[in-house]
Amino acid sequence: MYEIKVKSSFSAAHNLKNYKGKCEHLHGHNWAVEAVFRYVALDKVGMAIDFRLAKKLLKGVTEKLDHSYLNDLKLTRRLNPTSENMARFIYDSIKKKNKNIYLIAVWENDNSCATYIEE
């Protein structure tokens, strides 16, 4: 099994709905996102997936989120924009274009990460 990991980032604001604490108020993060793709075999060049293509798939989603207020985006309006929900949203968005997506990890800061893996 081969795993390919690429990273991207975006800056966005949000506030958590139905939450009591600081995060119920408007605040922002410089989010870091890791995408892991899994392949059983390599192509004729010897690659699972070209890093350039993997980055393009991830960047295609993170660019739509960058410099936004996640609560108001049409894409995410129905979600409570928690890190967990953002990880699932990014995963589902990439899966529409590449079935080999394995996991998405969304980092709000250097110490806090939520990961989504479909099982």
Q: Are 106 and 33 in contact (CB under 8 A)?
A: yes
Q: Domain range holding 72?
A: 2-117
Q: Are 116 and 86 in contact (CB under 8 A)?
A: no
Least confident of 29-33, 66-70, 74-78: 74-78
- CATH number, domain with residue 97: 3.30.479.10
Banded pLDDT at 75 (limits 50, 70, 90): confident
Which tens digit of pLDDT belongs to each residue from 21-53?
999 999 999 999 999 999 999 999 999 999 999
Nearest to 92 by CA among 32, 35, 48: 35
Give residue 102's pLDDT. 98
Q: What is the 3-state secondary structure (H, E, C) of 35-61?
A: EEEEECCCCCCCCCCCHHHHHHHHHHH
108 noted as active-site residue: yes
113 noted as active-site residue: no
23 noted as active-site residue: yes
Catalytic residue among 3, 24, 27, 67: 67
pLDDT higher than 90, residue 77:
no
pTM above 0.75, yes or no: yes
Catalytic residue among 3, 23, 24, 118: 23
Domain count, the chain: 1
C-alpha 33/C-alpha 101 separation (Å) is: 13
